[in-house]
Structure 1
Amino acid sequence: MDVSDLRILSLLPWTDWLALAWFFAAWAGYATFARRRANEVMTLLAVTNHYRRLWMLRVTGREVRVVDGVVIQSLSTSPSFFASTTILIIGGLLAVLGATDKAAELVKEIPFAARTSVLVFDLKVLLLLGIFVYAFFRFTWSMRQYTFGALMVASAPEPREFERGEASREEFSQRAGRIVGMAAETFNDGLRAYYMAFAVIAWFFSPLWFAIATAGVIYILYQREFHSEVLAVLKS
Structure 2
Amino acid sequence: MNLPDYLALALFSVCWLAFAWVTGQKKVLPRVSLTQAMGEWRRHWIMNSLYRDLKMIDTQIMAGLQNGTAFFASTSIFAIGGCFALLGATQEVDAVFRDLPLLSHGGRSAFELKVCGLTAIFGYSFFKFGWSYRLFNYCTILFGSMPMAERARQAPEAARAAAERVIRVNILAAANFNAGLRAIFLSIGYLGWFAGPYVFMLTTLFVFFVLLRRQFFSDARRVVLADVIERSDSPSESGVFKPDPIGHHEDSL
**Please, which of 165, 169, 174 is the counterpart of residue 184 of structure 1?**
174
- Cα deviations by residue, 1:175-233 (Å, 9 ceiling, x for unpaired): 31222122122111111101111111111111011011111111111110111101101
Other-structure match for 1:4:
none
Deviation larger for 41-50 or 166-175: 166-175
Is residue 28 from structure 1 mapped to residue 36 from structure 2 by the alignment? no
Is residue 102 from structure 1 mapped to residue 99 from structure 2 by the alignment? no
Superposition deviation, residue 73 in structure 1: 0.5
Other-structure match for 2:193:
203
Superposition deviation, residue 78 in structure 1: 1.1
> How many residues in Structure 1 have an aligned counterpart in Structure 2?
225
**Please, which of 54, 62, 65 is the counterpart of residue 55 of structure 2?**
65
For residues 167 and 37 of structure 1, what CA distance do their matches in structure 2 show?
27
Cα root mean square deviation, aligned: 1.7
**Please, which of 214, 220, 232 is the counterpart of residue 204 of structure 2?**
214
For residues 220 and 82 of structure 1, what CA distance do their matches in structure 2 show?
20
Superposition deviation, residue 66 in structure 1: 2.1
Unaligned regions of 5+ residues in structure 2, if any? 227-253
Deviation larger for 102-111 or 130-139: 102-111
**Please, which of 37, 42, 52 is the counterpart of residue 27 of structure 2?**
37
- Cα deviations by residue, 1:5-37 (Å, 9 ceiling, x for unpaired): xxxxxxx11111111111112211221222243
Matching residue's letter, 2:23: A
Sequence identity (%): 30
Q: Name the SS for the 1:157 alignment partner.
A: coil
TM-score (norm 1): 0.89
Contact 1:38 1:46 in 2 (8 A): no
**Please, which of 114, 138, 159 is the counterpart of residue 124 of structure 1?**
114
Other-structure match for 1:55:
45
Matching residue's letter, 1:232: R
Is residue 151 from structure 1 mapped to residue 141 from structure 2 by the alignment? yes
Matching residue's letter, 1:78: G
Unaligned regions of 5+ residues in structure 1, if any? 1-11
Is residue 18 from structure 1 mapped to residue 7 from structure 2 by the alignment? yes
Contact 1:100 1:118 in 2 (8 A): yes
For residues 161 and 41 of structure 1, what CA distance do their matches in structure 2 show?
39
For residues 30 and 164 of structure 2, what CA distance do their matches in structure 1 show?
18
Bigger helix share? 1
Is residue 232 from structure 1 mapped to residue 213 from structure 2 by the alignment? no
